[in-house]
Amino acid sequence: MSIDEITKKVSDRYALAASTGEQMCCPTSYDMADLKSFIPEEVLNISYGCGTPAGLKTVSQGETVLDIGSGGGIDCFEASRLFGPTGHVIGIDMTDTMLAIARKNAPLVATNLGYASSNVEFRKGMADAIPVIDGAIDLIISNCVINLAPDKRKVFREMVRVAKPGGRFTISDIVADQAVPQYLVHDAEKWGDCLSGALTLTDYIAGMMGAGFLGIHLIKASPWQEIDGIHFFSVTLTGYKIPASAPQPDVRYATLRGPFSRVVDELGTTYLRGIPQPITPETVCLLSQAPLASHFILSSSPLWLDRADNRWTAVYPTEAPCLWEGYFAIFAGPFVEVADDDHHVYRRGEPVEICSKTLRVLETDSYAPHFAIINRADQRVSGEPVTCAPNGGCC
């Protein structure tokens, strides 16, 4: 199928769902009871997402939010409530039926929120040709929509174009643990099901980085479907359009605290836990972002850490046999590569088979926010415990 054919089939599928009330099969976890207090039922009935707009919780008054693939407007209306009447929300969608429903309900939502007028507008447009001027957006959100775009790299470039310096995105989407084969790519029905267009997490994040976003990291992950041995799962990701100027010009060194023993950042710098690393002003900007800042101590002079220092963080594996139970760990940022204290190396987006001992490490509070865990075993595994290698590594 050509790009135009895919786009038309997806648009027609969602227009039909909007007019018939069909429930599209994407995983989502909206608090509908809460949203019903100000959003009309007509909008809630056509809300097709694969996550919740977690990024909206970071919105400040007066900010401008862009929702790519706004559908009936549910996420736009929630943004309007969260930042009050002073902000501005722009929703874009390619489906006329969806736009008509969203525009009709915008004044009703404003009235329910006690606003004099609506601060939400809806524009017809494509994700790869966003009808917004350069550098206008503080926060970009999208809920299971970029998956439907045939040219995702063009979408990511558009996102960078419209974002302000220092702007950010939080998007939910469906990705796969391996490349989707051509027989699924050319299945028109599965495009609408958020399957055929799924990228691997590696390719998805690489496209964002290639467009110019940095600090890309995981907010939430949850399994969705398995088809022909391919695991599809929902991820919510956040990243930043890093501003050009350094916020802390006196900072010259970064010391990795952990819990990883080694990390490589998105600019290519390698850090070993406890050892100060000279950094550039550009790197200072990157490491100052929220998902990275907690892992480092930034300083004007070299600062060394050892295990006795309470700023040193680590999670060491237990000395015990382990089981192979079909689990794979997928590291999802904010670094391109990391190592733990049991000789595992994780490259962002690439599944790594792990044993039960490593699973327990990755489920701790220090590690869990950075990993999606999947299980590829078709049935319960009954293998015997195995003893780790002399160097401590078992997988």
The residue out of 314, 336, 364 marking a domain boundary is: 314
Is a pLDDT exceeding 80 seen at residue 194? no
Tell me the CATH number at 342. Answer: 3.40.5.100
- Cα angle 129, 170, 344; round to 5: 115
The answer to whether residues 252 and 104 belong to one domain is: no
> Looking at the structure, do residues 71 and 141 belong to the same domain, yes or no?
yes
| Same-domain pairing of 296 and 325 | no
Domain total for the chain? 3
CATH of the domain at 306: 3.40.5
Are 143 and 212 in a shared domain?
yes
Examine the domain organization and report whether 209 and 298 are in the same domain: no
pLDDT tens digit string along 87-109?
999 999 998 999 999 999 999 99
| Same domain as 282, residue 385 | no
**pLDDT at res. 30:** 72
Highest mean pLDDT among 21-30, 246-255, 309-318: 309-318
Q: Beta-strand (E) ranges in 47-145?
A: 64-68, 88-93, 120-124, 137-143
Burial readout 328-366 (b: 16 or more C-beta within 10 A, e: otherwise): bbbbbbbbbbbbbbbebebebbbbbebbbbbbbbbeeeb
Write down the pLDDT at residue 250.
87
Task: State which of 282, 299, 314 marks the end of a domain.
Answer: 314
The CATH number that applies at residue 225 is 3.40.50.150
Same domain, 309 and 327: no
Q: Is the pLDDT of residue 389 over 70?
A: no
Which amino acid is residue 260, in one-letter code? Answer: F
Check residue 50 and give its pLDDT: 61
Q: What is the percent of the chain with per-residue pLDDT over 70, rounded to a whole number?
A: 84
Give the domain extent around 275.
245-314
Least confident of 3-7, 36-40, 60-64, 85-89: 3-7
Residue 122 has pLDDT above 90, yes or no: yes
Comparing 74-88, 159-173, 191-205, 354-368, which segment has the lowest mean pLDDT? Answer: 191-205
Q: Does 355 have pLDDT greater than 80?
A: yes
Examine the domain organization and report whether 8 and 131 are in the same domain. yes
User: Is the pLDDT assigned to residue 383 strictly greater than 80?
Assistant: no
* Structural domain ending residue among the three candidates 294, 314, 334: 314
Instruction: Tell which wins on pLDDT, 395 or 377.
Output: 377
In the three-class reduction of DSSP (H, G, I as helix; E, B as strand; rest coil), residue 368 is classed as helix
CA-based torsion, 125, 128, 134, 136: positive or negative:
positive
Q: What is the pLDDT of residue 15?
A: 46
Contact 25, 16 (CB under 8 A): no
Rounded to the nearest angstrom, the gap between the alpha carbon of residue 116 and the centroid of all alpha carbons in its chain is 34
41 and 55 co-located in one domain: yes
264 and 324: one domain? no
**What global pTM score does this model have?**
0.87
56 and 196 share one domain: yes
Confidence of residue 320 (pLDDT cuts 50, 70, 90): confident
Nearest to 311 by CA among 320, 303, 319: 303
Mean pLDDT score of the chain, rounded to an integer? 87
Residue 308 scores a pLDDT above 70: yes
Instruction: Tell whether 234 and 301 lie within a shared domain.
Output: no
Does 371 score more than 90 pLDDT? Answer: yes
